[in-house]
Chain A
Amino acid sequence: MTDDHGPLTEGYDRTPQHSSHHIPKIMMMGLRRCGKSSICQVMFHNMPPLDTLYIESTSSPSTTVFSSFIDFAVVELPGQTNAVDPGNEELERLFTESGALIYVIDSQDEYINSLSNLHSIITRAVEVNPKINIEVFIHKVDGLSEDFRLDAQRDITQRVTDELLDDGLLNVPLSFHLTSIFDHSVYEAFSRVVQKQIPQLATLENLLNVVCQHSGIEKAFLFDIKSKIFVATDSSPMDVATYEICTDFIDITVDMDSLYTIDHSQTPALKAADTAFGNELDGTDPTFNKSKPIGSTTRLNNGLILYLQQMVKGLALVCLMRKESMPKIALVEYNIEFFRNALEQLRLLTV
């Protein structure tokens, strides 16, 4: 495949070693100003939510390549109502190449227009690729009261499914998420979207279950450090508060660590900040003094303990424990090592 992808491959994070043809894609669509760029900037480029006010709307598609347990590319299409005009081959090719389509609806605006836009997109997309997951983000819910949010979700779900039924489209893989860039909801939603794209998800979840059961861990997340997407979690029930404290804990660990780094620049081609996160830690560069993978532990006064250990490739395992498990910490660490090895092997299988 050497064909030109036109402007579709124009984007920030294009890493040279893999062209974005071969990695799974997640598409993002939605009307203008619904918040697509904001979501991408906040999730993948660490933009503070308030700064999204100054994002200019773009007219060409942009791609963010995202490297984690799996690699995937988020392709953001500019908002337009006639996106699904027949004969748009580029769009059709994207539908076939994508595992998920995120459609963003601005919940603070009249959403009737976007619903008809969404409907035509879904019909076109599933025609081309019946397996594509349709993920509807009911976005900017920070402006709505709790009741209003649920009403909006109920209303939108109803309308979308009704219309699809009228067309005889029964088994469209369709999910709805309430999101806002001002809290953790967009991270959780994006995590759920990404998880569906991971073929080894079941294996990862099983591994996490085993680790939890044998170490007195209440809840464990495998996080992507940079984006705060959780790639997997054990099967115990999860609540948003737990997720939030875990991501905040990652933040302080990373922030505190970056305040005390030693300049390793004497050793060639090794920048301390890069080695700690994201970059390959499994390279065979035998540099002494190389930055270690990081870990941290915090105690709260209600007996809760958070334990973080960096894994391969910018991933971190974050566990929630009770202080009663602390005497067994050696066992916990042993089991986490076991998990790390399993993770390595799983990765080796996939590359």
Chain B
Amino acid sequence: MAATARRKLLLMGRSGSGKSSMRSIIFSNYSAFDTRRLGATIDVEHQNLRFLGNLTLNLWDCGGQDAYMDNYFSSQRDNIFQMVEALIFVFDVESKELRKDIETFVLCLRNLYEFSPGARIFALVHKMDLVVVEKRQDVYKALMHSLEDTSAMFSFKVQGFATTIWDESLYKAWSNIVCSLIPNVGIFQKHLQSFADISEVDEVILFEKTSFLVISHVTGNRSPGFKSDSTRFEKISNIIKQFKQSCNKLRSQFQSLSLRGSDCSAYIDSMTASTMIMVVMANRAVPDDGTNGDDAVDGSSAVNLLADQDPFSGEAENNIILANIKIARKMFEKIENLSLE
């Protein structure tokens, strides 16, 4: 019997800073637009999430109004701060009382130091969309700078992210947070690497199925120089997540995607019960051996288009990939169901 691991995450920050919004987007299929419907959280809202088979994320979304806050630091103190694996503190960049927010943050650290000294600390500088692009970096750095010093006093190391619900930055932050809590993330990485090596693909990414957070990714070493966008992983999370919402509107669910792109082919498909895999391969120029008669030999445009479009070209390659995914599934099922703790 596989033991499940529970991980308690504290979501803290002033009222209106965006805690419930981000939780609803990442874990409950809200769109950024939908979050305007959220009311202030009353006291603490608990959300238990099954993540990767044996891991349960236990989110404590702590309503940020002063009356509740006061309680967290007095009567509820041990209840709140015991057994915490990670603190996610959300700063509203537009906050008028930044000093007070930092004080609250320090209070959290002080209590964690006492009750959960092993906790990981994440600071999200949130609603970045409200800051003009040129100033974002400075605003973020300035705040992080002051947080690092105070965290060090309690021998915590704080990891910061600049986020907004209006772009993929939210996925980057949460992917990092969650991955830091998955005990077997290294095993996933290792097997993804061998999958990439064996099937000679250019990139493989593993996602958790419901949140579509990136768990692990591997880029092949003979990758053909894609115009590399280092934010592409969280961008894919964001893109597919939005499409999942569109599918939900049709009372249906997203299952798989096959892209015959201008320079690549890509597949997204289920890997295990709780993961999806994406495989990317560049379209390599096939040396023209005259047998498939494509690639602008005669300069006639219509024929070129047709040849490029040949639905059967590359089909063999595709089938190999699909077969490889099928084989890898068993392995990944096993990792997913490894007993934790």
Which residues on A are within 8 Å of B, measured CB to CB? 241, 244-245, 248-249, 251-253, 255-257, 259-263, 272, 275-276, 281-284, 286-302, 304, 309, 312, 329-330, 333-334, 337, 340-341, 344
Contacts and interface: CB of A to CB of B under 8 A. Distances in A.
B251 A302 contact: yes
A298 B254 contact: yes
24 contacts: A244-B246, A253-B259, A259-B229, A259-B232, A259-B235, A260-B203, A260-B282, A262-B227, A262-B264, A282-B301, A288-B295, A288-B296, A289-B285, A291-B262, A292-B283, A293-B305, A293-B308, A294-B260, A294-B262, A296-B257, A301-B253, A301-B255, A333-B311, A337-B309
B261 interface: yes
Given A275-B262, A294-B260, A295-B309, 18 more contacts: A245-B250, A251-B242, A259-B232, A260-B280, A272-B262, A282-B301, A288-B296, A291-B263, A292-B263, A294-B259, A294-B262, A295-B259, A296-B259, A298-B243, A299-B255, A302-B251, A334-B311, A337-B309
Contacts of A282: 301-302, 305
B257 A337 contact: no
A302 B252 contact: yes
Contact of B235 (A255, A257, A289, A329): A255
B277 to A, nearest CB: 15
B242 A248 contact: yes
A301 B270 CA distance: 12
A304 B259 contact: no
Nearest to B281: A260
B309 A257 contact: no
Contacts of A304: 250, 252
A256 B239 contact: yes
Nearest to B288: A288
B255 A283 contact: no
Which 6 pairs, one residue from A and one from B, show the smallest C-beta to C-beta distance? Answer: A291-B262, A333-B311, A248-B246, A286-B296, A295-B260, A260-B264
Contact of B308 (A249, A263, A292, A330): A292
B260 A283 contact: no
B263 A245 contact: no
B153 interface: no
Contacts of A309: 309
B249 interface: yes
B239 A260 contact: no
B257 A298 contact: yes
B131 interface: no
A257 B243 contact: no
B194 interface: no
A257 B262 contact: yes
Interface in B4-32: none
Contacts of B299: 284, 286
Contacts of A252: 239-240, 242-243, 257
B56 to A, nearest CB: 25
Nearest to A344: B302
Contacts of A301: 252-255
Contacts of A251: 239, 242-243
Contacts of B240: 252
Contacts of B261: 256-257, 260-261, 292, 294, 296
State the majority secondary structure of interface residues on A.
mixed
Nearest to B265: A260
Contact of B302 (A283, A287, A289, A341): A341
Interface of B: 203, 224-227, 229, 232, 235-236, 239-240, 242-243, 246-247, 249-264, 266, 280, 282-283, 285, 295-296, 299-302, 305-306, 308-309, 311-312
A297 B311 CA distance: 12
A300 B250 contact: yes
Given A252-B243, A259-B236, A287-B296, A299 B229 contact: no
B297 to A, nearest CB: 8
Contacts of B301: 282-284
Nearest to A253: B259
Contact of B282 (A262, A272, A281, A299): A262
B226 A337 contact: no
Contacts of B251: 302
A8 to B, nearest CB: 34
A244 B249 contact: yes
Contacts of B229: 259
B260 A300 contact: no
A275 B305 CA distance: 13
A294 B258 CA distance: 11
Nearest to A49: B33
Contacts of B226: 259-262
A345 to B, nearest CB: 9
Contacts of B312: 330
Which of A262, A287, A290 has the most chain B CB atoms closer than 10 A to its own CB?
A: A262
Contacts of A245: 246-247, 249-250
A101 to B, nearest CB: 32
A342 to B, nearest CB: 12
A296 B261 CA distance: 8
Contacts of A284: 299-301
A341 B304 CA distance: 12
Contacts of B295: 288
A185 to B, nearest CB: 15
B231 to A, nearest CB: 9
A255 B168 CA distance: 13
Nearest to B315: A330
Contact of A263 (B225, B262, B264): B225
B263 A288 contact: no
Nearest to B246: A248
B201 to A, nearest CB: 12
Nearest to A256: B259
B227 A261 contact: yes
Contact of B262 (A287, A293, A334): A293
A235 B250 CA distance: 21
A300 B308 contact: no
A295 B282 CA distance: 15
A254 to B, nearest CB: 10
Nearest to A332: B311
